[in-house]
Chain A
């Protein structure tokens, strides 16, 4: 695991925000995942050493939170909201549409490694349901038509990247 200098710098900034180092676990894991894409065993042990914890303390946390992943995912992370308000407005259909567009099931990485689709719980934007997050960005009112457009856009961006 090789962390970028700016990640390391950010980590050293974060730790003193807390009177007890252990508090920084979540923030460190976020920083590492943003940098290298997932939380490896090495990362768990690195965080444990950094915060003077036992590795099990970090593993317990990593596995509790769905946002942390222990394996790499696709280049684009698509999260479709599954919960009631979105479902009432077609969230399940949105998810199925995206699955069809990318030929991949929820929870999996597409064959080309481009996307991972996840069906997640409420994203706190229920008023503009159904909603989808692509990486950090929220897309609102994503009905099936918009889902197809969104898929097209993602594919286009992938093509442009080459």
Chain B
């Protein structure tokens, strides 16, 4: 046995190969590190260990030592320390690595164990994969090929259980497919803290149930669908809509709040079919809120702005932007820019530059609502910290644009550019708006777009590329999953065009191209390139803003800094 390379690492041996793993790693994860696949069903890295499926059985051994002297016992044949193998196979999910632990996954016994478990799981499982919605994502189907025996010896009648039970508004259950792994139950208890699922009856007749009269309605219910290893739990929304293997996956960020849950957007031919969580152990583990999964529906909502308008006439985004520049340039000094906490940091940087160029005051509209203590925080803007970092604003935004209203009343402002904000909803009055020319860049129609002099339709987060800074000051990237509608324009393109016309200098509209300048201009971004931001984000030094009264309370992986 080789010595531990680092104090917090220990060396274990999997199928003959030594590997250094952090203390506390279980055998499944340790094996993964050397590329050895230990199949499993009930284990989930973010839930308690249940150990019920028995698929992860492996052989475990410890180096032999003399009980009295603790000296290693050396095998004279090999000259190496002898390994005492436990005769019974052990479950990998509940076996934590200890120094010198030996694991064998490739023996005849283990092969047979897996074949046995596979056969047992299938005896009462419907064999109708072609019509199952989980096909392509079913671990049972997948592992039957890899670890099963390939034929059935079962000729008895299968158990009959409830089919197609609606567990809640978004989740459907087929009990005959359930392999009783209890992941969904553990998730509801341990993560969502909404204990409504459980098993009733016993033995092979055990049946997953939602308490009669209650529903699985919590805002995290769809995570059960994600973690169900088979097709027992399905999303009512996604069910049978599209085979998963046809879908393209794009990394994105849930824009619902400053948590910034990492997501994957599943699309095909420009249409988004679903959004699922992407693992980030520092942010959202493997979870996300149901509400964030629904957001793709906004892409094709009836109130989506599809065509630019200038003075009430339909136009093109290019013409509308040109008209906006013509409106703004002469008004320099009497312009206000209402930026957005929903803009990317790149967009906010350009917004700031534009405000500077126009000598305009810059505002942000705050959005707060109580957080859920998990993955939706009290700050319902995804990127207020980006606005602080870029200097778009220097203070936390309020929900009402009172100051702007006063300036309008005082005649200091003649033009207002709004990046997606409904100014009426933010507290300006119709009378105030009647006194200014409004340039509105946004995705959906609202009272402000209705009265704006110029309307430029823009893209949703699923149609854009950029980055947000979340509540932890973690910089996280999102990518365009689908193209925006034909009559609309990407926000960053729109903003850089406006800036170019105002400053008379070309600005590239790609985040990657903006970063070198941003990194030069903003000290906490120094040395960062867009490409260099890891998939799971990069923490910025937010200490400068630590004194601000951020609204977020504790949530998953987030403890607010002690308020001064």
Contacts and interface: CB of A to CB of B under 8 A. Distances in A.
Interface of A: 41, 54-57, 59-60, 63-64
B240 interface: no
Contacts of A54: 195-196, 211
In this complex, which of A54, A55, A56, A63 has the most chain B Cβ atoms within 10 angstroms of its Cβ?
Answer: A56
> For the complex, would chain A's binding face be called helix, strand, loop or mixed by DSSP majority?
helix
Nearest to A45: B213
Q: How large is the interface on B (under 10, 10 to 19, 20 to 34, 35 or more residues)?
A: 10 to 19
A60 B212 contact: no
Contacts of A60: 198-200
Contacts of A59: 198, 200, 209, 211-212
A137 to B, nearest CB: 27
A54 B210 CA distance: 11
B224 to A, nearest CB: 14
A67 to B, nearest CB: 13
B197 interface: yes
Nearest to A66: B202
19 contacts: A54-B196, A55-B211, A55-B213, A55-B214, A56-B195, A56-B197, A56-B198, A56-B209, A56-B210, A59-B198, A59-B209, A59-B211, A59-B212, A60-B198, A60-B199, A63-B201, A63-B202, A64-B200, A64-B202
B201 A56 contact: no
A65 to B, nearest CB: 9
Interface in B347-391: none
Contacts of A56: 195-198, 209-211, 214
Interface string B209-225: 11111100000000000
B198 A41 contact: no
Nearest to B195: A54
B201 A57 contact: no
Interface of B: 195-202, 209-214
> For the complex, would chain B's binding face be called helix, strand, loop or mixed by DSSP majority?
loop
Contacts of B209: 56, 59
Contacts of B196: 54, 56
B200 A63 contact: yes
B202 A57 contact: no
B159 to A, nearest CB: 16
Contacts of B199: 60
Contacts of A55: 211, 213-214
B212 A41 contact: yes
A20 to B, nearest CB: 16
B186 to A, nearest CB: 13
Contacts of A57: 195, 198
A30 B195 CA distance: 24
Contacts of A64: 200-202
Nearest to B202: A64
A55 B198 CA distance: 10
Nearest to B205: A63
A60 B195 CA distance: 12
Nearest to A64: B202
State the 7 A-B residue pairs at the shortest beta-carbon distance, nearest first. Answer: A63-B200, A56-B211, A54-B195, A56-B198, A60-B198, A55-B211, A64-B202
Contacts of B214: 55-56
Given A41-B213, A60-B198, 10 more contacts: A55-B211, A55-B213, A56-B195, A56-B197, A57-B195, A60-B199, A60-B200, A63-B201, A64-B200, A64-B201
A57 B189 CA distance: 11
A115 B212 CA distance: 29
Nearest to A53: B195
A84 to B, nearest CB: 19
A11 to B, nearest CB: 22
A139 B193 CA distance: 48
Contacts of A63: 200-202
A68 to B, nearest CB: 12
A57 to B, nearest CB: 7
Nearest to B199: A60
A64 B207 CA distance: 11
A41 B198 CA distance: 16
A24 to B, nearest CB: 18
A122 B358 CA distance: 89
Contacts of B202: 63-64
Contacts of B201: 63-64
Contacts of B210: 56
A74 B195 CA distance: 35
Contacts of B195: 54, 56-57
